[in-house]
Amino acid sequence: MSETIFDKIIRQQLPAEIVYEDEAVLAFRDISPQAPIHVLVIPRQKVEHLEAFAKEDAATVGRFFQKVAAIAQKLGLSTTGYRVVLNQGNHGGQTVAYLHAHILGGREMQWPPG
Ligand code: 5GP
């Protein structure tokens, strides 16, 4: 697995505006926000993308998504709603090969996505 910018953020070699962290995940604000609130959630245990993550045990995968929902709630987005995006591969628009869930909120989202 090649080194990514998120590996450096996890190791605190690169600054990030962290909004939540625990033993399993790190959540930090996107450097180029696409909504008033745009937070990325990554597992501490590195995995490159959703398809690799899906091969892990169901409890690990399930806990990650429970945390994503809890972080969105902590960000105050539950009442208005929000969008969670997980880009996979080139056509999915994935630019960083380290699994990350985008939490986007604070404005009404459009559909379909670009
Ligand atoms: P992807 O396109 O892979 O789904 O999303 C990668 C995200 O990482 C993009 O939204 C991009 O703005 C964000 N990003 C890239 N480099 C950095 C960085 O150095 N710091 C932070 N906080 N976000 C980054």
Instruction: Write out pLDDT tens, residues 78-107.
Output: 999 999 999 999 999 999 999 999 999 999
Q: Answer yes or no: is pLDDT of 1 > 90.
A: no
CA distance 108 to 114: 15
Task: Show me where the domains of the chain are located.
Answer: 5-105
The alpha carbon of 30 and the centre of ligand 1 are apart by a number of angstroms equal to 6
pLDDT confidence tier of residue 26, bands split at 50, 70 and 90: very high
Annotated catalytic residue 100: yes
Residue 114, pLDDT score: 83
CA distance 108 to 61: 28
Strands 25-29 and 82-85: unpaired
Q: Does domain 5-105 have CATH number 3.30.428.10?
A: yes
* Catalytic residue, candidates 38, 49, 91, 100: 100
The alpha carbon of 76 and the centre of ligand 1 are apart by a number of angstroms equal to 22
CB 74 within 8 A of CB 20: yes
Burial of 28-51, coded b for 16+ CB within 10 Å and e otherwise, reads bebeeeebebbbbbbbeebbbbbe
